[in-house]
Amino acid sequence: MKILNLLGVVFGVGFIGNPLTAQTNVWQPAPGHVQISLWPGTPPDAQPIAGPLVAGKPWVLVDNVSQPTMTVYSPTGTNTRVAVIVFPGGGYHELAMDLEGTEICDWLTAQGITAVLLKYRVPDSGPNWDSQLKQHVEPKAPLALEDAQRTIGLVRLHAAAWHIDAHKIGVIGFSAGGHLVANLSTHFDQRAYPAVDAADKKSCRPDFGIAIYPGHMTENTTNEFDLNPTLPVTRHTPPQFILQAENDHVDGVEQALVYYIALKNAEVPAELHLYAEGGHAFGLRRTKLPISEWPQLVDKWLGTIGMTAE
């Protein structure tokens, strides 16, 4: 698998070659230096980490990201010329880099889709909790949105070289990453930062968005079934796919419902899938629950909106 690191040293996640280690990337090497694993695989005497498991497996969290990076994963077979930028979740405090990142990229590349994993800046790069107001408020600087807009521009700039159709570039995000999908899908007319180079002259509008158990969708409202006013859905918002479990106690089902209703009111093509069970932060890891079949739904949907052949 060909992997390109373009905005920084991807090995700076602080986890190298050992899926049982969950260190944070509080340190990154200077430019031109690459961290190299001491062991060709899992080190001897490795111990499982304490903490939550998903489908019986641990997952890697990364925080204190000040140097955002993107990593391009090329398709493993036939190239559909579709690209999907992946936004891991983590409440804008950290990033679930494998559960909602590299594992998603592996699935996409197996479908002939170029995957672009974004390690965006955290913490405090999205809505933050204000203890006095007792609500989430938007950040003074929309760092995650800046990183997402920049990534879209870079992918479009290099689309020909990477064998991507510049009109088939979408985004997928989980939890806070799902909010970032909606944020990018409603904020693309103007960059959130001063233009840097030719990449920032390209459109940062995604051609489609996939929001998996999205969060932060009902904040800054007085009614729990109103959409966050900082997400101004219009008829120019690209087609959206939304997936949610009704027993998600982290980001409740209303998160998906209000987004879907706003999309339908704006006549944006949208597809919503609700399942009775599934909880939160399940990624692609299979369980006995029907919600584990969601990747097949995405595959079909990409065909219905003309991104891939049905």
Q: Where are the domains of the chain?
A: 3-7+55-304
Q: What confidence tens digit (pLDDT) does each residue in 152-185 have?
A: 999 999 999 999 999 999 999 999 999 999 999 9
Q: How confident is the model at residue 70 (pLDDT cuts 50, 70, 90)?
A: confident
Percent of the chain with pLDDT over 70: 78
Task: Tell how strand 135-137 and strand 114-119 pair up.
Answer: unpaired
- Cα separation, 172 vs 233, in Å, equals 17
Dig out the tokens for 245 from the structure.
């479990």
Nearest-CA neighbor of 206 among 235, 238, 175?
A: 238
Tokens of 16: 């190298």
Structure tokens at 183: 């944020």
**CATH number of the domain at 3-7+55-304, out of 3.40.50.150, 3.10.450.50, 3.40.50.1820, 1.20.1630.10?**
3.40.50.1820
Q: What is the pLDDT of residues 21-60, one digit of tens each?
A: 333 444 444 454 444 433 355 533 333 444 455 556 666 7
Q: Which of 17-26, 175-184, 263-272, 285-294 has the lowest mean pLDDT?
A: 17-26
- Rounded to whole angstroms, how far apart are CA atoms 291 and 284? 10
Q: Comparing 218 with 83, which gets the higher pLDDT?
A: 83
